[in-house]
Amino acid sequence: MSDLPPPGSTEPVSPTPSGSPADPTAPPPPATDPASSAGAGPSVPAPGPAPADPWADQTGYGPSIPHQPGYDAQPAHPNPSGPATPADPATPPGGGDPAGWTAPGAAPPPSYPTPPGYPTMPGYPAGPPQAGWPGYPAHPMPGAAYPVAAGPGAYAGWFPGIDPQDPLVNPPHAGIGPWFARCWGALRRGWRQLLPIVLLTQVPPAMVIGVLTLVLSPDGQMATAPDGSPVLPEDFWAQTLGFYGAILFAGLIFGALQAMGWAAGTWVIARQAAGQPAGLGAAFRYGLSRALGLWGWTIVVSLLVTLGACFCLLPGLYAALALALFGPVYLFERRDPVGRSWRMFHSRFGMVLGRVALVVAALVVSTLLDVVLSGISGALFGLEPMGAVGTAIGAVTLTVLSAVVAAPAYLAQQVGLVVTYAEQRAQEGPVTAAQLAAELG
């Protein structure tokens, strides 16, 4: 009798082991539940013939199906490997599914391999990158300057070494409020030294130029020709050239004195912010050592601004704003003050423009006060007050008063520009008030 199953039957037949013949009276072996070999539940008798193996005609391992997001497992292919089932050539050694997937909700077997092409990267935690995690350095905010993680005493995106409590250096991204606070702090600490410096170096030039304006200003009264047409007064051009020549000469001479005052005031602001002594005599000695160099650069910047104003008012104003930081750049760095000021202005255009505009606003207020006092002088003493002694004394007194009233504007200008320069240095790298004071020499 043949051991082969009848034609059309799919029931597997256990092979006859070699050795002694099988006992014909022994009961048949129990059927094996397909799920029991995969550890999915208890064994139950098979209700019918085993289903056909769809992988029987395949060789090797089936196509690898990658893991899909949101699907923890894939349906399994029932392929029990019992003692009565011949080895399936498509089944990998050790059993399991050819494609490496398991039934829905079922845990993978202990030897479940990692799908090829999806290696696990060590050192990177799951989830989106977060600042401060290993392997994920903090990145700067839009427009920030430094791609570094936060350190002690700093915020994320700052260079290490930036002190948020520095009395002079406004940290990056701190805003306009702390800038105002540092300007006020500089005035509160140094007004006893800064006010005498301003009164001795900035107010006298304004007084002299004001008096020269009263004495040498050309006659503004238009003459009338015999035919009734207006003509310029006699010697108008000679008076005009003499007036502007005297004002220019006084400005050049007193420019050196003003430069000494700007250098001395900057020295006081930086040293007091660093907690170092800043006497008035030492400040004037430092200012005298830097006066000539700063005076020369002041002449260069004045010519550039005047050249821009000759083409139109707006180019001259733009040049004045863009080159406003040339003084602190020269005193702290002593190199390329015009180019450095221009680059600082354009690299952070909105920030520098806003700070410098606030300084210019203080000067505009001072100019308006001067205009008001000049109007009062004209109303009280006439357009030509120097013709009589009494009116001359009154006009000169109001001119001196106008120069003294402008002293707070000079203080605001100096403090505001120094604090603005320190803030821009902090945008480029770590800097402190002590470092800036040391750079002054």
Would you place residue 229 in the very low, low, confident or very high pLDDT band (cuts 50, 70, 90)? confident
CA distance 280 to 366: 26
pLDDT of 54 above 60: no
Interacting residues of 87 by C-beta distance below 8 A, sequence separation 6+? 81
Q: Is the pLDDT of residue 142 over 90?
A: no
Q: Bigger pLDDT: 264 or 252?
A: 264
* pLDDT at 330 (0 to 100): 96
**Terminal CA-CA length for the chain:** 115
Residue for token pair 């000079």: 410
Q: Are 167 and 418 in contact (CB under 8 A)?
A: no
Of 225 and 326, the one with more pLDDT: 326
> What average pLDDT does this structure show over 182-206?
94
Least confident of 24-28, 142-146, 334-338: 142-146
For residue 58, is pLDDT > 80? no
Is-contact 2 16, C-beta < 8 A? no
Q: What is the pTM of this model?
A: 0.63
| Mean pLDDT confidence for 196-220 | 87
Q: Does residue 154 surpass a pLDDT of 50? A: no
Stretch among 222-226, 272-276, 343-347 having the lowest mean pLDDT: 222-226
Residue of 333 and 127 predicted with greater confidence:
333
Segment holding 231, helix H or strand E = strand 230-231
CA distances 322 to 43, 100, 134, 370, Å, are: 88, 69, 43, 26
Lowest mean pLDDT among 101-110, 139-148, 325-334: 139-148
Query: Is the predicted pLDDT of residue 438 greater than 90, yes or no?
Result: yes
pLDDT attached to residue 162: 74
Which of 144 and 301 is assigned the larger pLDDT?
A: 301
- Confidence label for 251 from pLDDT (cuts 50, 70 and 90): confident
Residues 114, 19: Cα–Cα separation, whole Å: 43
Q: Give the HSE-up count for residue 2: Cα atoms under 13 Å, Cβ half-sphere.
A: 4
Q: CA 225, CA 219: separation in Å to the nearest integer?
A: 17
Q: Confidence class of residue 34 from pLDDT cuts 50, 70 and 90?
A: very low
Number of continuous H segments (helices) and E segments (strands) in the chain: 12, 2
Over range 59-66, report the average pLDDT: 48
Which amino acid, one-letter code, is at 196? P
Q: What is the pLDDT of residue 181?
A: 95
> Residue 388: what pLDDT?
83
Per-residue model confidence as pLDDT tens digits over 64-104? 455 455 444 444 444 444 444 444 444 444 444 444 455 55
Q: Which pLDDT score is estimated for 431?
A: 92
3-state secondary structure of 160: coil
Q: Are the CB atoms for 189 and 415 separated by under 8 Å?
A: no
pLDDT at 337: 95
If you average pLDDT over every residue of the chain, what do you get? Answer: 74
Our measurement of the distance from residue 362's CA atom to the centroid of its chain's CA atoms, rounded to an integer in Å, reads: 27
- What does the angle CA 266 – CA 270 – CA 273 come to, to the nearest 5 degrees? 140
Q: Please check the confidence at residue 412 and state whether its pLDDT lies above 60.
A: yes
Backbone angles phi, psi at 194, to 5 degrees: -70, -40
| pLDDT of amino acid 102 | 52
Q: Which of 110, 382, 434, 369 is nearest to 220 (CA)?
A: 382
417/398 Cα distance (integer angstroms): 29
Residue pair 64/115 in contact by the 8 Å Cβ criterion: yes
pLDDT band per the 50, 70, 90 thresholds, residue 426: very high
pLDDT of residue 264: 97
215-229, 262-276, 299-313, 320-334: which has the minimum mean pLDDT? 215-229
Q: Which element (helix H / strand E) includes 243? A: helix 236-273
The Cα–Cα gap between 83 and 230 comes to 129
Read off the pLDDT of residues 94-107 as tens digits, 9 standing for 90 and up: 444 444 455 555 55
Q: Which of 54-58, 128-132, 142-146 has the highest mean pLDDT?
A: 54-58
Could you read off the pLDDT of 104-121 as tens digits, one per residue?
A: 555 555 555 545 555 545
pLDDT at position 101, please?
54
Q: Which of 81, 3, 10, 15 is nearest to 48 (CA)?
A: 10
